[in-house]
Amino acid sequence: MGYLSLKNVNKIYPNGFHAVHDFNLEIEKGEFIVFVGSSGCGKSTTLRMIAGLEEISKGEFLIDGQRANELTPRQRGIAMVFQSYALYPHMSVYDNLAFGLTLQGVDEDVIDEKVHRTAAVLGLTDYLDRMPRALSGGQRQRVAVGRAIIRKVGVFLMDEPLSNLDAKQRVTMRSEITQIHRETGATTIYVTHDQTEAMTMADRIVVMKEGRIQQVGTPHELYFHPANVFVAGFIGEPPMNFVRGTVSGGCLFFGQNRLDLAPVLGSRTAAYEGRPLVFGFRPESVQLGEQENAYLLSCTVELTEMLGDNTNVYIRSDSSQAIVKVDPHHTPEMDSQLLFSIPYEQVSLFDGETECAIPAEPIQ
C-alpha cells in the first residue's frame, strides 16, 4: 500500500453530475505525481478531495494506511498551492510566509529563522518587506510555494500553479519546484493541463479523461507505450499522427501508400482482417529517404514551420494529414513530394473500435 491511497474514489454532485469515476491510485512517500488532462476531466476535483476541500461521494482515501475521508484539511497535514496564489494582499511577503506558523503558535525566533531560510531558497530575501501587489507574477508564485513548504508538511498539492505565468517564467518555476521537491522530499501531487509540465517534472503521470484514469506511468512509459489513442494524442508536442482505416489483405492504405502490417503485427495480422485499425507515429520518429526495416511513405508538403532546432512539416496524402519533424537544414519546398521512412519499432497500432493499444509483435 502506498503512502497515499485512493480506492474507488468517486465524486457525484447533488445535480447528479459524475465528475470522477472509480479513481484508484497508490502514491509512494516522496513521489512527484502529476495529474494531467483537458479542462473538465476531473483532475482538480480529485486534488480537492485529497485536500479535504471536496467531500468524497464514494470510495476511500487513506494517508499512511489510515482512513482520512472525514479529516479536515488541517488534520491531513497537507499544504496546497493554488492557481490564484491566494496571498493576503494586506500582508508583506514576510508576513505571508510566517502566517501559517503564527497560527500554529510557533516561537517568533523560530518563525524568523524559517522565513529567512525559505526566502533564501526561493530568491525572495530582497522582497520580504514588499506587498504582493509590488511583485511580479513569478515572484508571487514563489511566495505561494514558500508559504506551503515552510510548514514542513508531508504532502504538497499544487493546482495549476504556473498557469498565470508567461512562458519564460513557467520554465524557470518548473525547475525551481522540481528542485524544492528534491530538497524537501515531500510527497507532491501536481495538477496541470500542460503535458510539457507533466513530462518534465513527474516521477509518474496520471492521464485523465472525462473523470476516468486513462493511464498511469512514467513519462517514458506514456510517451513510448501509450495505453490508447487518447494518451498517445495527448502526450507529445506535436501530438502523435493517426491514420485510420480498415485492414484489407493484411495491409492498411494511407492515401497512395500501402502499409503491410506483418512487420508490426506478425502472426496476428490475419486476426485483424476486415477490422478497423489506427496506425500511429510520432512526428519526430520519421527519417527522410528510404531506410531499412521501415515503412516508406510519400506525401505532399502543405506547410512548413521553421522552429530553429527543427522544422514542422505539414503533409497530406489524399484525405490523410500528418505532421513530421525534420532537420531545419533539410526543410522541403512547399507543394513538393516528401519521401520519408518510419522505423517499424516506432509505429503504434490501436484497435479501431476500442482505441486501445495493440502490442507489437515484430517478425523475427
User: Which of 163, 127, 171 lies closest to 43, judged by CA?
Assistant: 163
| In contact, 187 and 173? CB cutoff 8 Å | no
Beta bridge partners of residue 73, listed in sequence order: none
**In a shared domain, residues 200 and 262:** no
Residues 6+ positions from 333 with CB-CB distance below 8 Å: 301
pLDDT interval class at 341 (50, 70, 90)? very high
**Residue 38 is placed in which grid cell?**
483537458
Beta bridge partners of residue 7, listed in sequence order: 60
Helix pair angle (137-149, 167-184), 10° resolution: 10
Rounded to a whole number of angstroms, the distance between the first and last alpha carbons of the chain is 40
Please give the mean pLDDT across all residues of the chain: 90
**Distance between CA 222 and CA 199 in Å, rounded?**
9
**In a shared domain, residues 187 and 249:** no
User: How many structural domains is the chain composed of?
Assistant: 2
Report, as an integer, the average pLDDT of 180-184. 83
**In a shared domain, residues 228 and 244:** no
Question: What predicted TM-score, i.e. pTM, was given to this entire model?
Answer: 0.89
pLDDT interval class at 168 (50, 70, 90)? confident
Instruction: State how beta strands 204-209 and 212-217 pair.
Output: antiparallel
**pLDDT at residue 363 is higher than 70:** no
**pLDDT at residue 266 is higher than 70:** yes
Beta bridge partners of residue 213, listed in sequence order: 208
Q: What is the pLDDT of residues 34-89, one digit of tens each?
A: 999 998 999 999 999 999 999 999 999 999 999 999 999 888 988 888 777 778 89
| In contact, 76 and 3? CB cutoff 8 Å | no
Q: Is residue 364 part of a domain?
A: no
Tell me what pLDDT residue 173 has.
81
- Which residue has better confidence, 308 or 35? 35
Q: Is residue 226 part of a domain?
A: yes
Instruction: State how beta strands 32-36 and 187-192 pair.
Output: parallel
Tell me what pLDDT residue 90 has.
92
**Distance between CA 125 and CA 258 in Å, rounded?**
64
Q: Is residue 59 part of a domain?
A: yes
**pLDDT at residue 364 is higher than 60:** no
Last residue of a domain, one of 233, 255, 273: 233
Last residue of a domain, one of 233, 267, 298: 233
Q: Is residue 221 part of a domain?
A: yes
**Beta strands across the sheet bearing 347-351:** 241-246, 276-281, 347-351, 357-358
Tell me what pLDDT residue 1 has.
59
Q: Is residue 363 part of a domain?
A: no
**In a shared domain, residues 202 and 323:** no
**pLDDT at residue 255 is higher than 80:** no
**pLDDT at residue 360 is higher than 80:** no
Q: Domain containing 350: what range?
A: 240-358
Residue 269 phi, psi dihedral angles, 5° rounding: -55, -45
